[in-house]
């Protein structure tokens, strides 16, 4: 085998495959979008078969562009949209219905019911998570209750549950591997992050049969070997991590106190807390950053549901831009005298508010408000929400924030305007790496290091390189005024306002 490593990056709106060479440089890529299904208001689904087809297609594209064969690939790493739920038949591999996506809010009432039963503290103590429709457990419970015969079949061991990584591994290995990794398991509301095992008490509350759950492995482990019939060679799958944890690894945030934020469909900030499981008092999540060689490293996470999706809304909903890349230039033309705020609660508000019933709102419009002001408000909303997360993290981590440096990645960070405004509103430096494909890079490193073709953790961290640092330039009076306006807008948007 050659020294190439394949990263499968299965995201919320598209699937990507990236082949890296032995020097960790991109050799070939493939990408394909797939359908977003909205059966009802607040419901979001994906067709698992379409996801599978998109993954196979993009891998073949990447192999062709790299000019190699599957036999030249030393290992595969997988990273995926987290919390999205798939249930399929163990015998046939056929899904019993569409996947329920992490953005889906159909279980909001069920979450409220569990809260009224005073069970949120139990879930938080064991999983580090809050009772919100965002997470996998209530989605799975809904599916078992609403697909005819599903719960009885699951109890008999006839059905398999998985997040997208598990489903892909099952398909790639021809049904021989039924596994996941600790990071994906930690997002299900069913995995005890202290004991590192599926929790019987939580499974009982959610009425989920343990027979349908996959084996949980380290992030760098033997997850099985691909069926040679798919790509022409048997390739080992040696690395798996949920997308945000993979980005944390790809940003080489291996030391406690290091912080990254990814700007894709949503925005997710993770703060490495080492082996300490820090319990948030500010509505953040305690989660597993990664598990290597049996040792668990934890993180504090803040989740923002709408980031790049707000730019998509400008393009597809309002049709005021043709390309996402146009947003920064348009925002730069906005009237500085107008204070327009977009609170993008299209699917509720995530951390630190956790209000699934909140809905999007715009404040401060005048007769002169136009596309430029909407563009600026959409980009600034991402920056404001990040500031809310960092403020909460500093309280939990007992940091004054003066030493904060934020490493960023994701599609939105290519915009210099957005990154400068982010630094301005955070009042902290923002570092953009030379390699922006950090999510795929993290998954590839897990696999490549396990295969022995890439460097160890220390060597990988030493290779991390910065493209540009954005220093805050906004004066404190303007920053304070803008943050005050944002907090007022959020307060007026909350469902109990």
pLDDT digits over 339-381, tens only? 999 999 887 888 788 887 889 999 999 999 999 999 999 999 9
pLDDT of 226: 96
Predicted confidence (pLDDT) at residue 399 exceeds the cutoff of 80 = no
Tokens of 437: 């494909």
Taking a C-beta distance cutoff of 8 angstroms, is the pair 60, 231 a contact?
Answer: yes
Query: How much of the chain exceeds pLDDT 70, in percent?
Result: 99
pLDDT of residue 1: 55
Cβ contacts of 145 within 8 Å, gap of 6 or more:
151, 207
pLDDT of 59 > 80? The answer is yes
pLDDT of residue 164: 97
Q: Which range (24-28, 281-285, 289-293, 478-482) has the least confidence? A: 281-285
For range 397-417, the mean pLDDT: 81
Question: CA-CA distance, 351 to 373, in Å (whole number)?
Answer: 25
Confidence of residue 400 (pLDDT cuts 50, 70, 90): low
Structure tokens at 11: 């995201």
Contacts of 308 (CB under 8 A, 6+ apart): 263, 264, 265, 266, 324, 410, 411, 412
Give the burial class of 227: count Cβ atoms within 10 A of its Cβ; 0-12 exposed, 13-18 middle, 19 or more buried.
middle
In 206-355, DSSP assigns E strands to 215-217, 237-242, 259-263, 267-274, 285-292, 295-304, 341-343
CA angle 12, 17, 18 (to 5 degrees): 125
pLDDT at 101: 95
Question: Which contiguous run of DSSP H or E holds residue 125?
Answer: helix 120-127
Q: Please, which pLDDT band fits residue 401 given cuts at 50, 70 and 90?
A: low
- Residues 6 or more apart whose Cβ sits within 8 Å of residue 38: 44, 45
Single out the residue of 373, 361, 384 nearest to residue 485, CA to CA: 384
The pair of structure tokens assigned to 47 is: 């067709």
Provide the pLDDT for residue 103: 87
Measured N-to-C along each axis, helices 438-451 and 243-250 cross at an angle, to the nearest 10 degrees, of: 80
| pLDDT, mean of residues 12-23 | 92
Q: Are 467 and 434 in contact (CB under 8 A)?
A: yes
Burial of 33 per CB tally in 10 Å (0-12, 13-18, 19+) = exposed
Put simply, whether the predicted model's pTM sits higher than 0.85 gets the answer yes
Label residue 398 by pLDDT band (50, 70, 90).
confident
301 close to 339: Cβ distance less than 8 angstroms:
no
Q: What is the percentage of the chain residues whose pLDDT exceeds 90?
A: 75
So what's the pLDDT on residue 311?
Answer: 86
Beta strands in 193-348, from DSSP E residues, in sequence order: 197-198, 215-217, 237-242, 259-263, 267-274, 285-292, 295-304, 341-343
Task: Report which of residues 356 and 479 the model is more confident about.
Answer: 479
Residue of 167, 163, 105, 181 whose CA lies nearest to 138: 105
Q: How far apart are CA 399 and CA 273, in angstroms?
A: 12
- For residues 28 and 67, the answer to whether their CB atoms sit within 8 Å is yes
For residues 244-265, b (16+ Cβ closer than 10 Å) or e, as one string? bbbbbbbbbbbebebbbbbbbb
Higher pLDDT, 496 or 103: 103
**Res. 450: pLDDT tops 90:** yes
What does the alpha-carbon distance between residue 344 and residue 385 come to, in Å, rounded to a whole number?
10
73 Cβ neighbours under 8 A, 6+ residues apart:
1, 2, 4, 5, 6, 19, 63, 233, 235
Model pLDDT for residues 112-131, shown as the tens digit of each residue? 999 999 999 999 999 999 99
**Residue 266: pLDDT band by 50, 70, 90 thresholds?**
confident
Q: Is the pLDDT of residue 163 over 80?
A: yes
| Weakest mean pLDDT among 167-176, 304-313, 438-447, 479-488 | 304-313
Residue 122 main-chain phi, psi, to 5 deg: -65, -45
Average pLDDT across the chain, whole number: 92
Going by their DSSP bridges, the two strands 259-263 and 406-409 should be labelled as: parallel
Helices (H) and strands (E) in the chain, counts: 17, 22
Quick one: pLDDT at residue 321? 83
pLDDT of residue 94: 95
């Amino acid at each position: 085998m050659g020294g190439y490593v394949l990263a499968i990056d299965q995201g919320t709106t598209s699937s990507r495959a990236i082949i890296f060479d032995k020097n960790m440089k991109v050799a070939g890529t493939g990408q394909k979008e797939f359908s977003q299904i909205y059966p009802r208001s607040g419901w979001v689904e994906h067709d698992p078969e379409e996801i599978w087809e998109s993954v196979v297609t993009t891998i073949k594209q990447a192999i062709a562009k790299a000019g190699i064969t599957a036999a030249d690939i030393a290992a595969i790493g997988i990273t995926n949209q987290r919390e999205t739920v798939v249930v399929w038949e163990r015998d046939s591999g056929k899904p019993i219905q569409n996947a329920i996506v992490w953005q889906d809010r159909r279980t909001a009432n069920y979450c409220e019911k569990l809260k009224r039963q005073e069970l949120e503290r139990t879930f938080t103590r064991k999983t580090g998570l809050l009772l919100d429709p965002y997470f996998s457990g209530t989605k799975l419970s809904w599916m078992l209750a609403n697909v005819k015969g599903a719960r009885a079949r699951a109890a008999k061991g006839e059905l398999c549950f998985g997040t997208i990584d598990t489903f892909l591994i099952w398909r790639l290995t021809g049904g021989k591997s039924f596994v996941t990794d600790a990071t994906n398991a930690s997002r299900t509301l069913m995995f005890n992050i202290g004991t590192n095992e599926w929790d019987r008490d939580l499974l009982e509350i959610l009425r989920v049969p343990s027979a349908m759950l996959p084996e949980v492995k380290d992030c760098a482990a033997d997850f099985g070997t691909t069926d040679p019939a798919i790509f022409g060679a048997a390739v080992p799958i040696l690395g798996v991590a949920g997308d945000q944890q993979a980005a944390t690894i790809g940003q080489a945030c291996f030391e406690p106190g290091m912080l990254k934020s990814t700007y894709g469909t949503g925005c997710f900030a993770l703060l490495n807390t080492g082996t300490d499981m820090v319990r948030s008092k500010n509505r953040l999540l305690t989660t597993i950053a990664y598990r290597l060689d049996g040792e668990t490293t934890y993180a504090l996470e803040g989740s923002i549901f709408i980031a790049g999706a707000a730019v998509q809304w400008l393009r597809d909903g309002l049709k005021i831009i043709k390309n996402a890349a146009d947003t920064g230039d348009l925002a730069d033309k906005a009237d500085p005298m107008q204070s327009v705020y977009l609170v993008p609660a299209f699917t509720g508000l995530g951390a630190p508010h956790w209000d699934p019933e909140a809905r999007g709102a715009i404040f401060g419009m005048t007769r002169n408000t136009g596309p430029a002001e909407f563009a600026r408000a959409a980009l600034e909303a991402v920056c404001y929400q990040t500031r809310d997360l960092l403020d909460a993290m500093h309280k939990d981590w007992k940091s004054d924030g003066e030493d904060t440096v934020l490493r960023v990645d994701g599609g939105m960070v290519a915009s210099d305007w957005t990154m400068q405004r982010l630094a301005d509103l955070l009042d902290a430096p923002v570092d953009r790496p030379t390699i922006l494909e950090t999510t795929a890079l993290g998954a590839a490193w897990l696999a490549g290091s396990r295969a022995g073709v890439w460097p160890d953790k220390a060597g990988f961290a030493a290779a991390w390189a910065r493209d540009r640092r954005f220093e805050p330039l906004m004066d404190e009076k303007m920053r304070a005024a803008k943050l005050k306006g944002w907090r007022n807008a959020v307060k007026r948007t909350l469902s109990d306002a």
